[in-house]
Amino acid sequence: MGVDSAVYAFVDDFVDEGVAEVTERLARQGFSAIALAAVYHAARDLLPHNPRRAVAQRAEGAHYFPPDTALYRGELRPAAAARPLLPDVAAELGAAGLSWHAWTVYLHNGRLAADRPDLAVTNAFGDSYETDLCPSSDEVGEYTVALTADVARLRPALILAESLHHAGFSHGAHHERAFVQVSPTADFLLSLCFCAACRSRVAGGVDVDALAARVRDVVRAELRRPTAAAGGPDRAELAQRCGRELLDYLAVRESTTAALVARCAAAARERGVGFGFIDQAGALKGYATGEPAGVASGDDAWRLGVDPRAVAASVDAYVALAYARAPERVASDVASYADACAATPLRCVLRHGGPDFTTPAELRQKVNAARENGAAAVDFYHYGLMPLSGLDVAAAAIGS
């Protein structure tokens, strides 16, 4: 095998097709690990090669293993999926010599956010987003540490933490509707949280009420534009329009994320399990089209309250999502993280189908571009959602 490479998958992908059959195929193709969803958000997925069904409906915030409820001491409580069979699948993987990673969604949990809207992201208008918990809350922090300890009981080689940062506005619930164009600036400002916990973390020198009022004014002005301006948002322009206090607010978001990630990483290591952080900036930019625009993803991570260097310092793996058609874009996105992750293994996730996939030759070029620009591993998303023909191409690319 030429490259350390994991495939992202759901437990149902194995159960529906046959755990032994899928495991044997992935091992034969040369993949070194499987990133199994341990906790996931609601979704309705089209399954192109599942032998039992064409569409899967995934429950909100479901644990795909029996949770240890004694670990959760607050009101944020886990809920098991209808088929919590992850331990069975993980055991089969281990028997076949495959490592497994626990792909765990942390704060993008509509069930918990709806139960506790006081802990959910709240924009400058006071609107609560009952799709995401806010990382600034102490109670949310305790939940994330408990969740880490719960997943670590399963003994994965690595916990892959998704949505352990501030949320992006455009990735929310279902059937979102916007019949006016939402500029990148409005999209970002609508993602800023002004909940009580976020407000309390800002130093006394920041007039948060005044800052929120300026943010509201800019959002309203952006939504009145007949066409959305391209590019951005740029921090300097945001500070000019919303006031320089916004930069202090953004710095607090980044320090909050870094501290929370460090706590979870420590909780995993105490139990002998590695901890990886998934940076979703690449998905924010390229998920829908495979054509991310503007600066490289690592230079835009601040939009999610992420300072890659600060986060990388406390984790065992840093995961960059390179959702792009062009090998040149994959190269620049991976390179934008490489320096910050100099002492931490950098994993790059590519898609072997969907809007990113063009030709086998181009996928090989993207694998090479990721490796040449600092990626220690190249992973693929997603077994059940993409055609098997694409997985064959991915296997050939990592073995070449």
- pLDDT (tens digit per residue) in 369-390: 999 999 999 999 999 999 999 9
Kindly state the tokens that stand for 225. 């534009």
Q: Tell me: the pLDDT tens digits for 272-330?
A: 999 999 999 999 999 999 999 999 999 999 999 999 999 999 999 999 999 999 999 99
Across residues 383-398, what is the average pLDDT?
A: 95
Residues contacting 255, CB < 8 A, separation 6+: 307, 310
Q: What's at 393, amino acid-wise?
A: V
* Residue ranges of domains in the chain, CATH in brackets: 6-172+257-399 (3.20.20.80)
Could you give phi then psi for residue 359, rounded to 5 degrees?
A: -135, 160
Q: What's the confidence (pLDDT) of residue 181? A: 83
**Rounded mean pLDDT, 216-244:** 88
- Residue 319 and residue 333 in contact, taking contact as beta carbons nearer than 8 Å: no
The pLDDT of residue 228 is 65
**Do 198 and 139 contact (CB within 8 A), yes or no?**
no
In this prediction, residues 344-353 reach a mean pLDDT of 97
Query: Chain-wide mean pLDDT for the chain?
Result: 94
In this model, does residue 212 exceed pLDDT 60? yes
pLDDT at 178 over 90: no
pLDDT of residue 1: 44
Averaged pLDDT, 63-85: 95
DSSP-derived letter for residue 84 is -
Digit-coded pLDDT (tens) for 107-152: 999 999 999 999 999 999 999 999 999 999 999 999 999 999 999 9
